[in-house]
Amino acid sequence: MRDEWKWLHVPVEVAAVKLLGCELQRELNGITLRARIVEVEAYDQHDEASHTFRGQTPRNSSMFKSAGHAYVYLIHGIHHCLNIVTGEEGFGSGVLVRAVEPVAGAGHMVARRKRHGVDVTNGPGKLSQAMGIDLQLNGHDLSTPPLQLLRRSPLDPTSIVTTTRIGISKAVEAPRRFYEAANPYVSRR
DNA sequence: TGGACGATTGACT
DNA sequence: GTCAATCGTCCAA
């Protein structure tokens, strides 16, 4: 395993909390976009709501890679969702990035979205469109451009809210959604 | 090989 | 609050 991602070789819900406050940096057409992660959800092989619950398939194979890779999938034939793979190679676990807060290149994200304010990045499909994330980045190594994960110091635990996940039909009771309290970019539904 | 379905979003009543 | 868009994936037959 790569030492660089050792901090993500932990249970996925622990990794999810550690990822809050970290940043995603995207190089796109010579422009640098950067955004801070403010809302996440945890999924792993033992979780009925996870894409990896029934084992490895061509679609979910990048979620079985070692920590620090991207798992991107298409939902409803329209939108892309970004996950950060966690844990050891061979174990299917990852963290869905549900919302981010623009840090750099916000104007470009607004233009890509054709929306403004929190609507630019307050949902998994929205932030993917804002940052130009699609299937081409599925399986990408997040230690290299054009998409990088930048580690940041952990948030104060008292500022983190834990709830059940959104938009799923199985394991609906599991408290595996985490977000930064009072951050306006946290998704609404 | 067919068909049901989805870790969502935006438009509309 | 409700509902359609839209297509790749997966499982049953």
| pLDDT digit string, tens, across residues A100-119 | 999 999 999 999 999 999 99
CA of A58 to C1' of B4 (A): 20
Residue with tokens 């930064």: A180
% of chain A surpassing 90 pLDDT: 98
- Which nucleotides of chain C have an atom under 7 angstroms from any protein CB? 5-11
A37 Cβ contact partners less than 8 Å away, ≥ 6 residues apart: A19, A20, A21, A22, A23, A24, A97, A99, A100
My answer on whether omega of the bond before A124 falls inside 30° of 0, hence cis, is: no
Asked if A57 CB < 7 A from strand C, the reply is yes
Residue nearest to nucleotide C10 (CA to C1'): A57
> Does residue A62 surpass a pLDDT of 90?
yes
Which of residues 16-55 of A have CB within 7 Å of strand C?
Answer: 51, 54
- Residue among A90, A67, A62 nearest A6 (CA): A67
Termini Cα distance of chain A: 37
% of chain A surpassing 70 pLDDT: 99
> Does residue A164 surpass a pLDDT of 70?
yes
pLDDT (tens digit per residue) in A29-41 = 999 999 999 999 9
Mean pLDDT score of chain A: 97
- Residue among A170, A142, A13, A122 nearest A71 (CA): A142
* Measured distance CA(A20)–CA(A39) in Å, rounded: 7
User: Model's pTM, two decimal places?
Assistant: 0.97
